[in-house]
Amino acid sequence: MSLTPIGEPRQKVTTATLRDKKLRHEPITCLTAYDYASARLVDEAGIDIILVGDSLAMTMLGYENTLSVTVDEMLHHTRAARRGVKHGMLIADMPYGSYHVSTDEAVRNAARFVKEGGAEAVKMEGGEKRSDLIRRVIDAEIPVAGHIGLTPQSVNVMGGYKVQGKSLSAIEQLMKDAVALDRAGVACIYLEGIPREVGAMITAEVETPTIGIGAGPQCDGQVLVFHDILNLTFGPAAKFVRRYEDVGAVISNAVQAFRADVISHQYPSDAESYHLPKDTQAALDTVLDRKRSMRR
């Protein structure tokens, strides 16, 4: 099954595409995807960026937060998503700890996402304080996506998942962070969990395209988590989440219907079963008849 409309060949999305879109005021679309099937569906629907986010720690692996997911786990999912993406830009999240110890280790890990995972860019959380490191990664020919505001890898420092940028000093720091990332040459900046006014100010200030999640409508693009838009998250949704389908209910109904069919002997039907060829059946009947008559 292919969802790509016939007669509309798609250009490959690159970092240049994102810049062009910002200049033309064309909204950039981004969704997370963590495996072959979801990445392929997202890509074929025409989404610009497929983000293998470390949110997979919760959505795919059932962890409580993003902190424990490892580089190897992220790579496993990035490789799977890579096989499903043809046109969109594939960005992989660098997990917590993979770029916090030393610059060399960060560059080495970022290169693994490109070489082993097939990512076209890596995402790192943090602004001003990460800008030198980000320059080093870009120097290694690896495009980087920044991520500021509510940065889930800092959950213990923030004291929970709280909207950021609500005071004048916090706004000032966020502006400095955005400008530092802009100057470092990032491909795009994810803005998470900030007042819409601050999202708008940052977007107007920087040349880099901004992609918001809970950062208001004036960002250059929007990202949501695949499992959130489909109601596959087993909990209350954040304010910014829009549920487009209840796939959780669809799956649950299908599984319950299968169980009921098996228990009531409704599945499999004759039409869902393989049959012996007629001549084999006749030969088998003869053998069984002979055995029965010998037993008598």
DSSP assignment letter at 128: G
The residue among 97 and 276 lying less far from ligand KIV, judged by its C-beta, is 97
Q: Which two tokens stand for residue 248?
A: 């959780």
Distance (Å, rounded) from C-alpha 81 to C-alpha 117?
9
Tell me which of 64, 141, 192, 197 is the catalytic residue.
Answer: 192
Is 192 annotated in the active site? yes
**What is the closest distance, in whole angstroms, from the C-beta atom of residue 224 to ligand KIV in the complex?**
8
**What is the closest distance, in whole angstroms, from the C-beta atom of residue 55 to ligand KIV in the complex?**
3
For ligand KIV, the nearest residue by Cβ is 53
**What is the closest distance, in whole angstroms, from the C-beta atom of residue 42 to ligand KIV in the complex?**
13
The residue among 44 and 93 lying less far from ligand KIV, judged by its C-beta, is 93
Say if CB 227 and CB 233 are below 8 A apart: yes
What is the binding site for ligand KIV (CB under 6 A)?
32, 53-55, 93, 147, 190, 192, 213, 223, 225
The residue among 156 and 264 lying less far from ligand KIV, judged by its C-beta, is 156
The residue among 27 and 290 lying less far from ligand KIV, judged by its C-beta, is 27
Q: Which two tokens stand for residue 272?
A: 């869902």
**What is the closest distance, in whole angstroms, from the C-beta atom of residue 147 to ligand KIV in the complex?**
6
Listed as own residue / partner, the contacts of 16-24 with beta carbons closer than 8 Å and 24 or more positions apart are 17/48, 17/89, 18/48, 18/49, 18/89, 18/187, 18/188, 18/209, 18/220, 18/221, 19/207, 19/208, 19/209, 21/48, 21/209, 21/220, 21/221, 22/207, 22/208, 22/209, 22/220
Q: What are phi and psi of 36, to 5 degrees?
A: -60, -50
- Any idea which residues carry the catalytic annotation? 192
